Chains A and B, each alone.
Chain A
Amino acid sequence: MEHTAQFYLGLIPLMPLIGAVVIGLMHVMTCRGDRLPNKLYAVLACVGPVVSCIMAFQVFAILRTLPVEHRILVHNAFTWFSVGELKISMGFMADPLSALMLLFVTFIGSLIHVYSIGYMADDKTFAKFFAYMNLFLGSMLILVLGDGPVVMFVGWEGVGLCSYLLISYYNEDQSNVLAGNKAFIVNRIGDLGFVLGMAFLFWGIGANNGFDYVSLRANAHLLPPAMTLVVCLLLFVGATGKSAQIPLYVWLPDAMAGPTPVSALIHAATMVTAGVYMVARFSFLYAHVPAAGEIVAWVGILTALLSAIYGMFQDDIKKVLAYSTVSQLGYMFAGVGVAAYSAGIFHVFTHAFFKALLFLGAGSVIYAMHHEQNIWKMGGLKKKLPITYLTMLVGALALSGCPPFSGFFSKDEILFSAYANGFKGIWMIGVLVAGMTAYYTFRMIFVVFWGEPKNKSAYDHAHEPPAVMTVPLIILAVGALLAGFLNFPALFGGHQLVSQWLAPSVLDHHPHAEAATEWMAMGASVAAFIIGISIAFVKFAKGVEMPVFSGFAKFAYHKFYVDELYDFLLVQPYKTIGAMIWEHFDPDVTDGPRKATAFLYGMAGSAFKVIQTGYVRMYAIYMVIGLSLISLLISQTLN
């Protein structure tokens, strides 16, 4: 059994990667002549993710049969490189944490692949899209399953690359390409943090004792506290890049330039949660330095607040969802920051369902409205798109934290842990953000689906998308509705299955609080939800025209001009310095000696060419001269 599971571990990431190569090659071979039918690509594209998903369930099932303390499976595919004592294997590890991630990544990944068949049906480079998507899923699985930081980093960079490729997918439009560039460059800054953190960790304990999670965890106590803090913070810099936290969150809203399934898969459900996963993965380090956790939690909750403010004033349906993603990611970091790792990961899990659902729903709205994304031009769609409306409603209720939808349980768990672990400030902001979330989510629902249609002709042509798109929506809606019960709180007589399951992987700090405190925290969340939704109802349920922002609203609508600020403070000076080097320093200073050397060498070459006379007698003379010289020298040594 265990052996089979280990075998699967190697195959799980391989399946989509093979798919990517096959589809990619077929696309490259045929892109000039007659293209192969889309149906063929559609089948090929879904095989890898679905097979991986089935194997992921089997790995999960096998893992469950093992005793709790032995729930760890490692498969070393091959030795990647070995330098001196250091040996890094291409190893894959399944433990409760990675198995949980594995399950929803493959499951939601498969659903989104199916959905994309419908969404991308008219695309000219259908195959290219699926090659990228498969490549993404393969990289994400490497990230999740990697048995050490190095293998994780391979996946980390792989998903970053795919994210870039897919954001700039509609590359006829320059702004999309620029959005892709922005995502890539901002992520590089985060990656630098990751690499540095990894290097410090290696320097500290990895060099002599093995550099995989199992060894690192066993040796974490050897790392001096100051060094641990540095490592934790540097790794968190990496996480802020990938998971769009302050100050590196700016790329995610722009990333909505990509096709909507991409936004759902990469920029909501899976890749952006990699940072949270990483922090939970390194919980054995964060547990040693509470200061690091505190910083993570505060950055997370402030990001949640900031992007919730932005979210309230957006008029692009995907931008609303993008800011809500940033905001929810902030919650997750708040969760892992206050040492409630299982709560944070549980929110990753539920969020993957309801946010993927909302994005796919938004996708089907956009599809129905012929690529219109401005919510103020929609309105009244609930009659036209009943399935989309109902499923999105489920997603919205889950996102805003309405009991008993999944988001309620996971968000409440985080807020309660923050409160019980003594972070009252974080808890208060968290509750406030919960209210704001309910407000902007239902503002979107009301404006899009309720009221009167703003654009009559588009409204008349709108129709429910085909079954390949609606069925995934329904499945995800069921997930968004029920996923929360997996971690049904003890307060209601539940068993907190997810927390128990994750217990061997993460070092949770379990708060001891009275039931009354828990009731109070829950009550506050529900109250915030009700207030938020009520305000949205009063303001938008009847249908309103596109508002004109002024004052603070205008300031928030323009995202506090943070992009412009970054541009002014960082990008422009950097460009100026670069241009200076390019225009003056490079040609005049560094290139001078180079040009001179090249000139001299060129001259020498021409001079040397002269001795290649082409006369065979000259060549024989060279030989004789050389021969004589060497024999002369040798005769010297003999004496």
Chain B
Amino acid sequence: MTRDFLLLLPLGIVGAGAILLMLRSALGKLTLEAASLVSMCVFALAFIAQILSGTIGHVSPYGSVFNGMLMVTDFTRVAGLIILACGFFTSMSSQSYFKENGFATVEYYSLIAFAVSGMLLLTMSQELITAFISLEIMSLSIYILVGFNRTCVTCAEAVLKYLMLGAFTGAFFTMGTALIYGGLNSTKFSAISTAIAAHGFLHLPALVGGAFFIIVAFLFKVAAFPFHAWVVDVYDGASVPVTGFMATALKTAVFAIFANFLMLDPGLKSAWVNYLFYIAILTMFGGNLIAIGQNTLKRMLAASGIVHTGYLLIALVAVSADHFTGSVILYYLAAYAVSTLGIFAALSYLTGNGEMRSQFDDFKGLAKKRPYSAAAITVFLLSMAGIPPTAGFMGKLYIISSAIQAGQVTLAVLGIVSSILSMWYYLRLIINMYFHEPEETFETECSVFGPVCTLILAVAVFAISLYPVTI
């Protein structure tokens, strides 16, 4: 029982932290700095608890109470660690961001904690209703976070688009759940996998349809082609730290449940491999084409996020459903998370008041004025582009080699081609930073948190690259 408690402790800590922050903000008198520190502490504590809860294999915490709705595995634990780290660094960089931008309130940090608790729950869900609820906890918090700056028109536009399309997706998900319940009389993952094992996936039409809707909902959340279109506008509208948070934590959580769902049975996976194959290719190249045309940094990063979703889909295609460990997926998620969070942490103090520096051209000559920030951004960009010896390179290497092992050579080659194409927009920023004369001083009024956060993440880019993974 103690172990069950420990396994759910991180979720408890984050949830309690979120509620406490929300209550405290109603009473007032809590400064923004204090709120960010509190939320950082909450995430740090939960992170430590998650590490200490060491487990091997599959455990259903309080199985009799929750009726097996939750399951903790090594896969979900590591996904949880990535999400908690994302929450921590987002709170940290937000602190700097709100030195320049004055629209924050204490609820902001509470909402990040709510979103993280939803994500943690999502990774552990083994049942469709639980998954739906946690998906909605996460999504609702993020809708609010995206539209947090109520005076800003683009934010309102972003939140509206996201909310409408997200509602669409929520409808798909419930539709899928209903179909599965209709067919199987249960919404539990274990029931689904037993049914497939007994009858074969293609002989259960309700399940085929239900799985289809649910997977479409996941594809929307991770912004895979053709459900990607919202991403660019929403990322552009949200404030910098929120964008970073969405790009990393949300993607990790959804990929975790996506992988869990897809790996329920080899039959389910093999039925989807062909579609995922084409979706992965279209996602990578579509994302690249969108990214090339962008002049705004956030839009470019949003589009590049689509490309990274494509790589992760390659990993999903390549992993074996029989011996699923998910190490490659998690490694790539972690590598992508540090690089993306890092660049958003740097942007959160560099963009300045009202995010006045948002275009590629606004960063001309940054290296001359702020050499350390420019160097850190370069590290993150090179990691995203997949240049050794960064984490991004190792992540791509693992994905490509697992694809080759799985016999998906076409995907591997196209993955490499896409990675070469992506240099276009990553190097463009580096060229702007280093090979132009500065036109301004890049003075910002930031706290020490933003730069420190950037530094830690820059170091992490190299540290993670040293971590060995067995495919």
Contacts and interface: CB of A to CB of B under 8 A. Distances in A.
A616 B160 contact: yes
Interface in B268-317: 271, 275, 286, 288-294
A375 B331 CA distance: 65
A612 interface: yes
B212 A604 contact: no
B181 interface: no
Contacts of A623: 165, 168, 220, 226-227, 229
B216 interface: yes
B292 A626 contact: no
Contact of B226 (A605, A606, A612, A622): A622
A383 interface: no
What class of interface size applies to chain A in its complex with B? Answer: 20 to 34
Contact of B229 (A598, A618, A630, A637): A618
Contact of A606 (B172, B233, B293, B424): B293
B425 to A, nearest CB: 9
Contact of A638 (B165, B168, B205, B275): B205
Contacts, number: 70
A633 interface: yes
B290 A638 contact: no
Contacts of B291: 605
Nearest to A609: B293
B336 interface: no
B232 interface: yes
Given A601-B421, A619-B165, A630-B216, A608 B227 contact: no
A616 B161 contact: yes
B219 to A, nearest CB: 8
A619 B205 CA distance: 29
A634 interface: yes
B129 interface: no
B218 interface: no
- Which residue, of A604, A611, A630, A638, has the highest number of chain B Cβ atoms within 10 A? A630
B205 A605 contact: no
B459 interface: no
B197 interface: no
A604 B285 CA distance: 11
Interface in A119-157: none
B235 interface: no
A226 interface: no
A618 B275 CA distance: 23
Contacts of A581: none
Interface string A596-633: 00100110111111011010101110110111001101
Contacts of A637: 202, 271
Interface residues of B, number: 31
B168 A605 contact: no
Contacts of B208: 634, 638
A602 B271 CA distance: 36
A604 B226 contact: no
Given A619-B229, A622-B229, A625-B226, A605 B289 contact: yes
B164 interface: yes
A386 B227 CA distance: 87
A598 B161 CA distance: 33
Contact of B290 (A598, A601, A612): A612
Interface string B183-215: 000000000000000000010010010001000
A234 to B, nearest CB: 28
A349 B154 CA distance: 75
Contacts of B229: 611-612, 618-619, 622-623
B114 interface: no
B421 A633 contact: no
A377 to B, nearest CB: 44
Interface in B145-188: 160-161, 164-165, 168, 172
Contact of B216 (A612, A620, A627): A627
A605 B202 contact: no
Contacts of A598: 424
A626 B227 contact: yes
Interface string A573-609: 0000000000000000000000000100110111111
A471 to B, nearest CB: 42
B292 A601 contact: yes
- Which residue, of B168, B172, B202, B226, has the highest number of chain A Cβ atoms within 10 A? B226
Contacts of A604: 289, 292
A601 B227 contact: no
B62 interface: no
A637 B267 CA distance: 13
Contact of A626 (B161, B225, B289, B424): B225
Contacts of A611: 229
Contacts of B449: none
Contacts of A607: 289
B442 interface: no
Interface in B413-468: 421, 424
Contacts of B132: none
Nearest to B292: A605
B175 to A, nearest CB: 11
A620 B165 contact: yes
A627 B279 CA distance: 12
A190 B294 CA distance: 48
Nearest to B299: A612
A558 B294 CA distance: 62
B278 to A, nearest CB: 9
Given A601-B424, A627-B216, A609 B290 contact: yes
A601 B294 CA distance: 13
A348 B416 CA distance: 52
Contacts of B202: 637-638
Contacts of A622: 226-227, 229
Given A616-B161, A616-B165, A605 B227 contact: no
Given A601-B424, A612-B232, A619 B161 contact: yes
Contacts of B424: 598, 601
A633 B293 contact: no
B164 A616 contact: yes
B205 A608 contact: no
Contacts of A602: 292
A601 B285 CA distance: 11
Contacts of B275: 630, 633-634
B421 to A, nearest CB: 7
A619 B227 CA distance: 8
A433 to B, nearest CB: 48
A67 to B, nearest CB: 40
Nearest to B160: A616
A194 to B, nearest CB: 23
A619 B232 CA distance: 11
Contacts of A633: 275
A608 B165 contact: no
A294 to B, nearest CB: 44
A638 B232 CA distance: 35
A602 to B, nearest CB: 6
Contacts of B165: 616, 619-620, 623
A125 B227 CA distance: 58
A605 B288 CA distance: 8
A494 B292 CA distance: 80
Interface string B221-248: 0000111011011000000000000000
A601 B421 CA distance: 9
Contact of A631 (B212, B225, B233, B294): B212
Contacts of B232: 612
A1 to B, nearest CB: 34
9 contacts: A601-B289, A608-B289, A609-B290, A616-B165, A620-B168, A622-B229, A626-B225, A634-B208, A634-B275
The 4 closest A-B pairs by CB, nearest first: A605-B292, A626-B226, A609-B293, A608-B289
Given A619-B165, A622-B226, 17 more contacts: A605-B292, A608-B290, A609-B294, A612-B232, A620-B164, A620-B165, A622-B227, A623-B165, A623-B168, A623-B220, A626-B225, A626-B227, A627-B172, A630-B216, A631-B212, A638-B205, A638-B208
